[in-house]
Amino acid sequence: MKAGSSHARSVDERWDERNGLLAELEASGYLTDPRLEEAMLAVPRHVFLPDELQEEAYADHPLPVGHGQTVSAPHMVAMMTSALQVKQGDNVLEIGTGVGYHAGVVKAMVGAEGTVVSIEFVKELSQRAQANLKTAGQDVIVLNRDGATGAPEYAPFDAVYVTCAIPEIPDALVRQLRDGGHFIAPIGVTKCQLKAGRKIDGRLVLEDLGPCLFVNAQGELGAGDDDSGVLQPAP
């Protein structure tokens, strides 16, 4: 069957590749939570990719998805999701939906009782993400707006994460995160430091997880149109 066919993007296909990727992530130390392993197995990456990228769906590197954006490398999805420490029933905010893959994994982690709200600046990508998530069976709320404003109508959130480079953390995202909630984002312009932590007594307390490269955020959230950060090496 041709890799780019609709049949190849079924959620019930390519199990050997999916299991192989998870074994690779586990061996590299990125996958230590059985719940996350189950979620990443349940949300197939190939469902979120266009025909021309099907052969690379289970390679552990980011892939371009148009509009200067990428779908994150699986090891980065695993690393960031682990840092969020989400649990069943949590309410989570994602900034930077892209094609929806990372949001789908997080939704699988929080389960039917949990909520994932994801914000995408590019209208075409937000529409594509909604279709992809529906195919993958993951009920995520996708909003087409500037991520700097967050989603106050769905707050407070148990966790907030950003999947694009931001020069600074908007106050709105801090306000919408409940006290004790977890946060992770790449801070900088393209060449970033991945920072993660919690909100304690009304402010974020973050630790540095190491350097990384991310595509820059767009709109008010971002700092220009440079799209050179298409790689996301492990910190």
Helix (H/G/I), strand (E/B), else coil: 108:
helix
| Residue (of 55, 28, 57, 53) closest to 43 by Cα position | 57
The residues annotated with a catalytic role in the active site are 72
Which residues lie closer than 8 Å to 175 by C-beta, 6 or more apart? 150, 152, 155
- Both tokens of 233, joined, read 């090496």
Give dist(CA 180, CA 103) in Å, integer. 21
CB 92 within 8 A of CB 117: yes
Give dist(CA 86, CA 175) in Å, integer. 19
Distance of CA 216 to the CA centre of its chain: 14
Give dist(CA 232, CA 46) in Å, integer. 19
